[in-house]
Structure 1
């Protein structure tokens, strides 16, 4: 009997515990937090179409417009001059850059000139007797013949008899032989073709120079050229004489140049055309890296925006009554940071800065900026 009573009591206690637990659970209120809707703020601009200048960037290294590579045409020992043949040496126009020892060759030239003079002297008696009408001009020529100077040009042969007589005595042959030797003698001295500076020196005084050997490079420092490659799309828009703004690599100084030449051939590999920009400045040096901005044309009824605002290459976000939407646009020119687009109606409010997670239909709050207008 006792066991039955204890069993009944145990069951009652279990039922009571379950009942009390249910009451406690039911009496506990659950509070669910209410989700707050977050509205992101966007920066916007109002479109006003206009003329957008298309500026084509280009870059390259400066080269001297006038440069001469110095080569020896004769052989001999490089003799010391008034100035050392060193890089950076400045020479005036006509000043001797290189002088090669020509004493031996000069003696052979003088020998040939002496032979010509003797021939002329030997024909003078015959000219006096047989051709008295042409004798005076040949006498004048002989009197003006100076062995220390360049051989003067022969008198003009006016008649057939005179031509036959002079040619038959070997005068013309000797004369042109002397002129040929004198021409070669002049190659033992290399003068400066213009005022400039020596940028490369490959020999020194006392060196034995051989024919065909490169001696150095000489440039004019007044005018430089910048060779740039331009897309063929804008090749027909560039004009010779057009002004170009140039900047150095550090963007600390600006120069003004002009388009001097435009190549008439398109590079088949890159589909670009070479243009040459002429620039003058005392601070420039050959080999300097410069960046150029070429004004190709103006695109009408267009605007310029950041390139990262363009979606799928032909769409942009617009704001309609605090809701994002997309519209189709027509991009006409790209740079690394900007893009010029068309077919955006005036007065359209567009997104001015990228928004992370933006999508069509997204509710946004427009940042109030009184100066937020984008113009072409």
Structure 2
């Protein structure tokens, strides 16, 4: 029994010691400082909104195609006896230059036969004219009253004239067929496809190849309704003979190097595409293998190009960095004193580096261009310029710094007081 009481006494003393130690630890623990209820400012990069006159641009894309492209076909039948060395894929030719010649021996014979028929018809007409004059003279000497047309040989004379006209028409047709043995194109151009060669027998309408003109290249560019508004042109746009049209710059990477060509939008098509709901405009580039190839490369047919079209000018537009746009039409504005204001703007146009708005923001205001998590109106910000420098007028006060400054001022005052007391 005594041993049991001794054990309980030992446990009691040990528990009391532990309790005293815990009480001593809690009593000596420093009291935690009260946290500031005001949130600290969030650092954000800002940039000033600029007010200026902006020339709007519209970007599109399309494929270069020739203004004129035809299938080269003969109008007569025969064997090909001559092929121009330029009549080959990629070859250049001039307007009226002989590209293919068909055997013309039969057509020379046809011209000769037609010329003989003309001579016979002329002789027959001369004979009928003489007989008609003789009949008229005999009737004047022997006849009485009004002579009939048959008596004066008027029908025979008309038939002779008709025979001559028919023979002359046959001669012209034979000569025309002879000229058609020489196949050419009515424009300067290039050969796209060659499908016939020397010695081949062809019939009228057989395709000899495809050629296209090199005077003008067309690019068909799709435009949305918003694009038409930026350009400021009507749906039924046509530049007309007194205007070059709307300037357009075409670019592409060709042979590993960037190339560009300059042309004009001359017209829009007559209807909106029912599938894509866009309206196509036509850009023209003149002399694509000459003056337009000043950058070192022609605008080749079939090349896919990017287009930059000069639009209308917007007076007193507000220009912001592209990074300022949040969502579709929201930007963050920093007020003086460093508070955040969330604005809704009217976007006129945007690109990869800038944003043009017509309302919601004024020129000279500071716009946030860096991400902010949990943004809300009135949030306190610490504004930084592009170099990371703090903008005091657009930055909220940091509470810790203010308290630190007050504490240091108090400590300084206390030390000074103690020093004065000691000196006294």
TM-score computed with the length of structure 2 as normaliser? 0.70
Deviation, 1:118, is 2.3
Secondary structure (helix, strand or coil) at the match of 2:276 reads coil
Alignment of 1:52-67 (within 5 A): 52-67=54-69
Say if 2:336 is the partner of 1:326: no
Deviation, 1:38, is 6.2
Moved more, 220-229 or 237-246: 237-246
Which residue does the alignment assign to 2:176? 183
Which residue does the alignment assign to 1:347? 364
Secondary structure (helix, strand or coil) at the match of 2:99 reads strand
Which residue does the alignment assign to 1:9? 6
Which residue does the alignment assign to 1:248? 252
Partners of 1:318 and 1:55 in 2: how far apart? 26
Partners of 2:216 and 2:130 in 1: how far apart? 59
Deviation, 1:253, is 2.9
Which residue does the alignment assign to 1:19? 16
> What is the alpha-carbon root mean square deviation over aligned residues?
3.3
Unaligned runs of 5+ in 1: 133-160
Deviation, 1:96, is 0.6
Provide closer, same or farther for how the CA distance between residues 101 and 336 of structure 1 changes in structure 2, counting only shifts above 3 A. Answer: farther
Alignment of 1:1-376 (within 5 A): 4-28=1-25, 39-83=41-85, 85-127=87-129, 165=158, 168=161, 170-233=163-226, 234=228, 237-238=232-233, 240=239, 241=244, 242-249=246-253, 252-279=258-285, 280=287, 281-282=292-293, 283-284=297-298, 285-307=300-322, 309-320=324-335, 321-335=337-351, 338-343=354-359, 344-351=361-368, 353-360=369-376, 361-368=378-385
Moved more, 307-316 or 194-203: 307-316
Secondary structure (helix, strand or coil) at the match of 1:22 reads helix
Is the 2:72–2:211 Cα contact (8 Å) retained in structure 1? yes
Deviation, 1:317, is 0.7
Q: Higher RCO, 1 or 2 (CA under 8 Å, sep at least 6)?
A: 1
Question: For each residue in 1:178-228, what CA deviation from the matched residue of structure 2 results, as whole angstroms up to 9, or x when unmatched?
Answer: 323333343332113122221211122222223332221212334212111
Moved more, 283-292 or 327-336: 327-336
Which residue does the alignment assign to 1:142? none
TM-score computed with the length of structure 1 as normaliser? 0.78
Is the 2:49–2:319 Cα contact (8 Å) retained in structure 1? no
Question: For each residue in 1:116-172, what CA deviation from the matched residue of structure 2 results, as whole angstroms up to 9, or x when unmatched?
Answer: 12221343355468679xxxxxxxxxxxxxxxxxxxxxxxxxxxx799546545111
Rg bigger for which structure?
2
Provide closer, same or farther for how the CA distance between residues 24 and 215 of structure 1 changes in structure 2, counting only shifts above 3 A. Answer: farther
Partners of 1:244 and 1:354 in 2: how far apart? 34
Provide closer, same or farther for how the CA distance between residues 5 and 231 of structure 1 changes in structure 2, counting only shifts above 3 A. Answer: same
Partners of 1:35 and 1:290 in 2: how far apart? 62
Provide closer, same or farther for how the CA distance between residues 15 and 347 of structure 1 changes in structure 2, counting only shifts above 3 A. Answer: same
Is the 2:334–2:366 Cα contact (8 Å) retained in structure 1? yes
Which residue does the alignment assign to 2:406? none
Provide closer, same or farther for how the CA distance between residues 163 and 24 of structure 1 changes in structure 2, counting only shifts above 3 A. Answer: farther
Moved more, 10-19 or 328-337: 328-337
Partners of 2:329 and 2:156 in 1: how far apart? 85
Provide closer, same or farther for how the CA distance between residues 54 and 104 of structure 1 changes in structure 2, counting only shifts above 3 A. Answer: same
Deviation, 1:366, is 0.9
Q: How many residues align?
A: 339
Is the 1:166–1:172 Cα contact (8 Å) retained in structure 2? no
Question: For each residue in 1:264-289, what CA deviation from the matched residue of structure 2 results, as whole angstroms up to 9, or x when unmatched?
Answer: 32223333222211113232221222
